[in-house]
Each structure stands twice: as structure tokens, then as C-alpha cells.
């Protein structure tokens, strides 16, 4: 009897070891190796262990390389307020003993839900005191303020302070709300007018260029295609529905086909919430996997380029709002249609207002950016929602200030209630960042 028990234990152990070994070696998703809940920013790829742990034999340097590979470009673009070079400077060696900010994991440690704060911070929220304990003595405006308030919206952002630097606050301290004719070039009208795509010569195929086309094309599809940007540019069925060099027919083209022409847009998509799983070779993201409220009837929808864009109709209007509200069911999204932004959008669509006044979901969360291409400037959409999502003051420069003053933008983004009702009203509280900057500037003149 004892031998049978030992034999059963041995077989069970070997079976379990084999199962776990196979998952570790061959499966992309490894649920049985997850050691704790991941942060809001990484939960979509938490089962793809090798997304961060690229080597089983490395330590912090491996994790640091993984962080930089995904977030490095963003930190460069944001003019990182605390770059690594600041802490590798020998003159700041004493800071390393307090907080080793050379490593991302010093402040952002994954799989520790009990100590994780917003932005994935796993340090106490008053961590700024470690280096800035004397700020109250240096700046009377900060005297008496507690250090857990440093990162409140409108005050400071550890990495990106472009909209919060003192010189920027002073520059825009006395701005007035611009008229529609003065808005920055991130509006719907200018986007539609300047939309440009570089079509590779090999993609200019006839709509009848593949035998399979005859079997699947209908008069309705052909009419839609002829009216779309693809049809007008001469980009036929083969361009999206076949893959080189085999020329095999692809019934449902994915981002791999889109990126042959829309390289920048697909790059942003794969870096954002909608496409980050695809970037790690995982199955597409679905709304039911999200940690925020989603429409129940959209739960199983797989997110890809075609989730928002129909290549045959090329309806950018639908992609700007309808596609978003078809999935998102949080308070902010549900309040859009009745909000001032939503009312403007409806009035523009009905012709009651000019296109310069349009505000859709995409206007704020996927803003238009001016891009130089071989000396020619054109506008493209930033498809990476993370670029403006968290912390929310990142959207001040790219979105809010297209229509509002800096002062109003700071106050509005610091008001959680106002965000939830999609800015239906005025901010309840005033953030004194600009006031402090002006006061300090006057005293130093």
C-alpha cells in the first residue's frame, strides 16, 4: 500500500512537472507562473512573462532593458524630468543611496497589488520628500504642503512636466479661450484636408487583380471601395487581401497588412491599449478582458484595425465616436453624448457648426499630430492612447489647449467628478500652480 502511495505521488509529480515545463517552454501565455496581479498598464500582457523577463538569468538590467524598449521613445519625447543621466552624474551620487532612480523597478515593481498606487507606483506616495525635503524653505508657496500631494494633477509629474514647467505656466498664465478660427491644427477639418498616405508602388493593384475577388466582390462592396480613400488612390483588393510572395488570399486582413502603408498608425496602435497584446504575439484584446466597464454585447469582439475602421467605407466619422462608444461603458464614455463635447459633435455632424468646433472621442484621446515627411508637413492620428491617458495632464498640450486655456485645463483634469460626467460643468476646485509661478516671478524681478 505504501509503495502504491509513493508511486502515485511520483507519477503525479512528474505529470505536474511535465505540464508546467511544457507551459514554460512552449506556451506564450503562462497563467500558472503569474506571481501576483499586474498593474493597470501591464495586465493585458501579464501572462506573456517573456515580454519583460527576456532572459531567465538576468536581474534588474534585464527588466530595465524591457522597460526602455517599450517606454524609451515616450520618455525621450516627453523631455523626461528625471532622466537616468541625472542619477549617474557623480555629483548626485548621494541621491542613489536614498532612491536608485536609475532603475524603473525602484519605483514601479510589478505583481505587488497591495502596495501599488496609480501610475503603477509602488513607493509611498510621499516619495518626493527623499530628495526635496527642503522645498518648503526654498519656496514659500510650498510651505506647509504635504509631500503626498506633489503628483496631484496640475502640480508635478515625475517624468513629463512639459505642461507644468514654471516657464510654460508663466507663458500661458494670461491666455484667453481661443475662438474656433484660432484653434490649433488638430481639428477635424484640417485633419481631413491634410490626410495623406504614401502608397508603395507595389500596392497599386487593380480591384480585379486576383481570382478570388470575383467570388467575394459584390456591387455594394465595389461601390463602397470606389468611394473610399483606398479606391481613390487605386489601392485594390490584392493590396490588403493577399500577402507577398505567396499571394494567398486573406479573408480578414489584420494590422500586418495595414502597416504596409499606415506604418506610423500601426506602430501607435500596437503600443496602445487596443493593440499591445498583438505586439507581444498574443491573441487580440477583447472588451471582456478590460478592467474598466465595457458594453456586454461587445465582450467577445477582437480588437484590431478593422474594429474601428472599415476599409471599404473608410468612415473616419464612425471611427471617431461610434466605435469607441460601442465598447466603452464607463461613466466618462456614457456621459459623452449629453456633454458639451458631445453636443458640439452632434451639431457639427448636422451642419449647425463648423468643423473647427468638432470634439469627438478621438479629438482628445487620439489627437492629430503635425509630422514632417521629407520636408513636407502633414497631419496624422496618434493611435497610442497611452500618449495622453495617464497621467491625464499629458493631454493638456496635445488636446485640451486646442480649445481651452492652460488654467482651465489644469483645474478640469484635477476634478475627478468633472471627468466622470465628461466635463459637463465647471471645475469645483482651483489648482494654484499658475498662481504660484506668477507670484514667484514677480518676487524675482
Give the tens place of pLDDT for each residue, 122-139: 999 999 998 899 998 888
Q: What is the pLDDT of residue 313?
A: 83
97 pLDDT higher than 50: yes
Q: What is the pLDDT of residue 194?
A: 45
More confidently predicted of 178 and 241: 241
31 pLDDT higher than 90: no
Cell, residue 318: 464612425
Q: What is the pLDDT of residues 288-303, one digit of tens each?
A: 999 999 999 999 999 9
CB 342 within 8 A of CB 364: no
Out of 26-35, 226-235, 286-295, give the one with best mean pLDDT: 286-295
Q: What is the pLDDT of residues 175-197, one digit of tens each?
A: 887 654 444 444 444 444 444 44
Q: What is the mean pLDDT of residues 112-121?
A: 92
Q: What is the DSSP letter of 370?
A: E
Q: What is the mean pLDDT of residues 59-88?
A: 88
Helices (H) and strands (E) in the chain, counts: 26, 4
Q: What pTM did the predictor assign? A: 0.85
Closest by CA to 322, choosing from 380, 262, 265, 362, is 362
Instruction: Report the alpha-carbon distance of residue 294 to residue 302 in Å, rounded.
Output: 13
Q: What is the pLDDT of residue 89?
A: 86
More confidently predicted of 156 and 182: 156
Q: What is the pLDDT of residue 184?
A: 42
Cell, residue 59: 536581474
Q: What is the pLDDT of residues 315-367, one digit of tens each?
A: 888 899 999 999 999 999 999 999 999 999 999 999 998 887 889 999 999 99
How far does Cα 350 stand from its chain's mean position?
Answer: 30
Q: What is the pLDDT of residues 413-443, one digit of tens each?
A: 999 999 999 999 999 999 999 999 998 887 7
What single string gives the DSSP state of each residue in 73-109?
A: HHHHHTT-SS-HHHHHSGGGHHHHHH--TTSGGGT--
Instruction: Report the alpha-carbon distance of residue 31 to residue 24 in Å, rounded.
Output: 10
Q: What is the CA radius of gyration of the chain?
A: 26
Q: Which residues contact 268 (CB under 8 A, 6 or more apart)?
A: 381, 382, 383, 384, 387
54 pLDDT higher than 60: yes
Strands 376-381 and 368-373 turn out to be antiparallel
Confidence of residue 310 (pLDDT cuts 50, 70, 90): confident
Confidence of residue 214 (pLDDT cuts 50, 70, 90): low
Cell, residue 443: 518676487
309 pLDDT higher than 70: yes
Query: Does residue 273 sit in helix, strand or coil?
Result: coil
Average pLDDT over all residues of the chain: 85
Instruction: Report the alpha-carbon distance of residue 315 to residue 362 in Å, rounded.
Output: 13
Please give the share of the chain, as a percent, with pLDDT higher than 90.
45
CB 364 within 8 A of CB 381: no
205 pLDDT higher than 70: no
Q: What is the pLDDT of residue 443?
A: 72
Q: What is the pLDDT of residue 8?
A: 82
Amino acid at each position: 500500500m505504501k509503495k502504491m502511495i509513493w508511486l502515485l505521488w511520483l507519477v503525479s509529480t512528474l505529470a505536474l512537472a511535465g505540464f508546467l515545463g511544457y507551459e514554460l517552454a512552449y506556451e506564450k501565455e503562462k497563467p500558472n507562473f503569474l506571481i501576483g496581479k499586474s498593474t493597470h498598464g501591464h495586465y493585458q500582457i501579464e501572462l506573456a512573462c517573456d515580454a519583460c523577463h527576456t532572459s531567465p538569468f538576468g536581474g534588474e538590467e534585464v527588466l530595465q532593458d524591457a522597460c526602455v524598449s517599450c517606454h524609451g521613445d515616450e520618455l525621450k519625447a516627453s523631455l523626461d524630468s528625471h532622466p537616468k543621466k541625472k542619477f549617474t552624474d557623480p555629483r548626485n551620487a548621494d541621491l542613489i543611496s536614498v532612491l536608485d532612480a536609475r532603475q524603473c523597478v525602484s519605483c514601479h515593481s510589478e505583481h505587488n497589488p497591495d502596495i501599488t498606487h496609480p501610475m503603477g507606483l509602488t513607493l509611498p506616495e510621499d516619495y518626493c520628500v527623499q530628495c526635496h525635503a527642503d522645498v518648503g524653505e526654498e519656496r514659500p508657496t510650498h510651505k506647509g504642503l504635504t509631500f503626498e500631494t506633489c503628483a496631484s494633477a496640475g502640480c508635478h509629474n515625475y517624468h513629463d512636466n512639459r505642461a507644468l514647467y514654471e516657464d510654460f505656466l508663466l507663458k500661458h498664465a494670461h491666455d484667453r479661450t481661443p475662438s474656433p478660427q484660432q484653434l490649433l491644427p488638430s481639428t477635424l477639418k484640417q485633419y481631413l484636408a491634410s490626410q495623406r498616405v504614401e502608397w508603395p508602388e507595389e500596392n497599386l493593384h487593380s480591384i480585379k487583380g486576383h481570382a478570388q475577388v470575383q467570388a467575394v466582390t459584390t456591387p455594394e462592396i465595389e461601390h463602397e471601395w470606389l468611394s473610399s480613400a483606398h479606391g481613390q488612390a487605386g489601392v485594390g483588393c490584392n493590396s490588403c487581401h493577399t500577402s507577398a510572395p505567396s499571394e494567398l488570399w486573406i479573408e480578414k486582413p489584420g494590422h500586418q497588412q495595414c502597416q504596409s502603408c499606415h506604418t506610423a498608425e500601426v506602430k501607435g496602435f500596437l503600443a496602445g491599449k487596443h493593440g499591445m497584446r498583438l505586439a507581444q504575439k498574443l491573441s487580440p484584446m477583447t472588451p471582456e478582458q478590460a478592467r474598466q466597464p465595457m458594453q456586454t454585447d461587445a465582450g467577445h469582439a477582437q480588437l484590431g484595425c478593422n474594429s474601428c475602421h472599415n476599409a471599404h467605407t473608410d468612415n473616419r466619422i464612425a471611427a471617431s465616436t461610434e466605435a469607441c462608444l460601442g465598447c466603452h461603458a464607463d461613466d466618462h464614455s456614457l456621459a459623452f453624448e449629453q456633454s458639451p463635447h458631445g453636443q458640439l459633435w452632434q451639431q457639427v455632424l448636422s451642419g449647425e457648426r463648423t468643423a473647427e468646433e468638432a470634439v469627438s472621442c478621438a479629438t482628445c484621446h487620439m489627437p492629430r499630430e503635425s509630422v514632417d515627411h521629407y520636408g513636407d508637413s502633414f497631419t496624422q492620428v496618434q493611435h497610442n492612447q497611452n500618449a495622453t491617458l495617464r497621467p491625464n495632464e499629458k493631454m493638456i498640450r496635445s488636446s485640451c489647449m486646442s480649445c481651452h486655456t492652460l488654467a482651465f485645463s489644469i483645474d478640469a483634469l484635477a476634478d475627478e467628478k468633472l471627468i466622470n460626467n465628461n466635463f459637463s460643468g465647471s471645475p469645483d476646485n482651483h489648482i494654484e500652480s499658475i498662481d504660484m509661478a506668477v507670484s514667484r516671478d514677480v518676487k524675482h524681478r
